Structure 1
Amino acid sequence: MVSGLGLPGVRRTGLSGAMFLFCPSCGNGLIMEEGQRCHHFACNTCPYVHNVTCKVTNRKYPKLKEVDDVLGDAAAWENVDSTKKPCPKCEHPRAYFMQLQIRSADEPMTTFYKCCSPQCGHS
């Protein structure tokens, strides 16, 4: 019996905290379905159905990975070329640019611009 679910004969396996329930008659995985009055576990291949008699909750909050700065720090902009591209923020007439391959090799390179004005620095 699965603890807290009241499912006699149902096998339960866990993989990194997830719960998988299996049909006691055919061994296939059970799916959660919403009925008219309650939720139940049902088998796709045989007529086995078992109503859920208590509240089942499981919350997992995945750890988010840190986002890397694609452009690098201020040192990445030290030896880059500039072009006659006006800044949309301060209207400075020139901008630094660099091209990076941030997608797969069959995609074109991405061009990044940064305002040449030390007061603005808009990118």
Structure 2
Amino acid sequence: MEFCPTCGMLLQYELPHMDRPARFFCPTCPYVCHMDSKVKIKRKHRLVKKELDPIISKDDELEHLPETEAPCPNCGHLKAAFGQQQTRSADEPMTTYYTCKKCRHNWKED
């Protein structure tokens, strides 16, 4: 989108006609901007996704979560870290996520 430098209106595009090149023109004032018919791309840049380091690792996260006595269904260990999240509507109970402190097995309780 281009705007008129004189009055600020949105410029309209007009196709080339006969010997006149394509142009942008302002519908409210006499401003006209002629366009060159040949446009050259100087260089192409390939976008590279930047690798991000996690702020908190999985081990750190497990250390900072509260702990409870919940038997692990995988190894039977009694200590697990837990967190809660509202996954359904507000009148439904929260979902509790557990992670075993010994084998790192994850499970949830609705």
Higher gyration radius (CA):
2
Query: Normalization by structure 1: what TM-score?
Result: 0.35
Query: Normalization by structure 2: what TM-score?
Result: 0.39
